[in-house]
Structure 1
């Protein structure tokens, strides 16, 4: 039994605007599974779910983003300094804005999408040369070691690095983005961005949820009602969903 990360879910006042931005930013395609939902995924014959990409789902909600920095954000990969400069310029033309989160003088560029969701455009790094446009899904946390232990057990991804300040996992197939945990402090606001996990064919969603509870996850009631997915939080309160089968 294991789960695989398949989507980054972003809440938005306007899913079409935010979804359109991310599709253009990543060079991916847009579709919609239902009103109020914009699905963003690679083209070129990509068939979801595939470990080569964690897709982006943008879902309409009535609440705007708070002024507090999101606890989960995307890092975008670049192949050269010129590519980084070109990408930042293109993203700003698409509606991204520079953001000061106290990062100081760093080689990456911090931006926000049209609704203020922060993300980073990284300088070229060898580690991310084969991830695709999303280098990493970054999760702020108080204890990277504990988070790595939970997510390593929860998913079939491989733990590549862990210390007191940082931890990193990636698909065991060695493709797609990383999930990274950075020590920054305790969670303080509801998550605007979260990860969706999917069981494998033949695995039971309820059994997987029960296993996650034993690992330290907690059920979460967001008023979602009778839906096909299960909402949970990890041991530090970060929200995530376990989807029904593909």
Structure 2
């Protein structure tokens, strides 16, 4: 048996707030919460399902006292809109509290670098919406 990628942990100051932001971005639901932590996902993992096959990982927001200490994350999420254009998704995410970010990307890049409300960078890639 191999290991499974089951969750990605994001250190943050406000787990509830960041979980709410990412739930709205990804259409995820809160699946667990405790003191200083909130886990969100598209499904509620069970040991049996995880053992049977690789399933989408959850996101776990964990409260930590320190802030972000580097300019650019070494690990980040990429999202692809499925029902609108990339630019329309960027506009939606700005309305949810994201900001655009400059990490030295090519100004002609096909993706848009953004940051969540705590400054964690992520990219909005090409749309996966059906082309008419």
Query: Fold-level match, TM-score > 0.5?
Result: yes
Equivalent position SS for 1:85:
helix
Higher Rg of the two aligned structures:
1
Normalised to the residue count of structure 2, the TM-score between the two structures is 0.83
**How do 1:106-117 and structure 2 match up within 5 A?**
106-117=109-120
Alpha-carbon contact 2:39-2:59 (below 8 Å) kept: yes
For 1:121 and 1:29, the matched residues in 2 are separated by: 21
Aligned to 1:55: 58
Distance 1:83 1:54 in 2: 25
Q: Mind listing any 5+ residue stretches in structure 1 that lack a counterpart?
A: 130-246
SS at match of 1:8: strand
Match of 1:88 among 86, 90, 99: 90
- Runs of 4+, deviation exceeding 4 Å: none
Q: Which ranges of structure 2 fall in alignment gaps of 5 or more residues?
A: none
Q: CA deviation at 1:27?
A: 0.6
- Higher RCO (CA-CA < 8 Å; seq separation 6+): 2
Query: 1:236: which partner in 2?
Result: none
Q: Distance in 1 between matches of 2:15 and 2:127?
A: 30
Hey, what does 1:21 align to over in structure 2? 21
Q: Which has the higher strand share?
A: 1
Alignment equivalent of 1:122, drawn from 122, 125, 131: 125
Q: Per-residue displacement from partner, 1:165-219 (whole Å, max 9, x unpaired)?
A: xxxxxxxxxxxxxxxxxxxxxxxxxxxxxxxxxxxxxxxxxxxxxxxxxxxxxxx
Q: Is the 8 A contact 2:6 2:55 kept in 1?
A: no
Q: Aligned-residue CA RMSD in angstroms?
A: 2.1
1:65 alignment counterpart: 68
* Conserved 8 A contact 2:18-2:61: yes
Structure 1 length-normalised TM: 0.46
For residues 45 and 120 of structure 2, the distance between their equivalents in structure 1, rounded to whole angstroms, comes to 25
